[in-house]
Amino acid sequence: TISHNLLDNNKVEIIRGQVSKFTLEQIKDLVKDCDAVVCCLGHNISFKGIFGPPYNLVFQTVKKITKAILPNCNTKFILMSTTAYTNKKIGEKNTIGEKIIFSFLKLFLPPHRDNMNACDYLLYKLGAENNIDWIAVRPDSLIDETNKSAYEVFELKKRSPIFNPGKTSRINVSQFIADLIMDEQLWFLWNHNTPVIYN
């Protein structure tokens, strides 16, 4: 459902379609004049949404978008990820219990595997050497709140997403993403990284 605030805003253009069926050329046409692209894709929380196609929705879309914006190094790309992702490049480690549970989730829960593959693609395929600026924002358990509140951002997870999860409001995630896009110093601080955000 799209809010009336967006529908009535003459600065907002809404394009409807199944992004998983968009060709690379269609994606290129959508992002060609963008200063920033934010990917907040997820799977529907239903049996069909979790276990049915498209199985690699986020991963394949991230690949298409980053290929589409690759020639334009001034376009920023932000992926909304999750604290379920462990960034081993910066020394994050999972406990034995977390390793067991995450292994089961990756094996039996296609959306979890999809999200992990999407972030892996940014971290290991694109890295920092490629001609594209990207950040994967990792909120903890998402909650709905009406107003923005204080939040903290860290390089490493401070809590176990399995055994001691924190909370992050969607509106705070939105604010942080907007700040990343608008604030060049903040972008430089987190470029090619996976910041964790908690309320």
Q: What is the pLDDT of residue 49?
A: 62
Q: What is the pLDDT of residue 158?
A: 96
Q: What is the pLDDT of residue 109?
A: 87
CA distance 15 to 22: 12
For the CA atoms of 76, 81, 83, 84, the dihedral, rounded to the nearest 10 degrees, stands at -140
Q: What is the pLDDT of residue 77?
A: 95
Whole-model pTM over 0.85:
yes
* Peptide bond just before 71 cis, omega within 30 deg: no
Amino acid symbol at 13: E
pLDDT < 50 regions, the chain: none
Burial of 97 by CB count in 10 Å (0-12 exposed, 13-18 middle, 19+ buried)? exposed
Q: What is the pLDDT of residue 156?
A: 97
Q: What is the pLDDT of residue 7?
A: 81
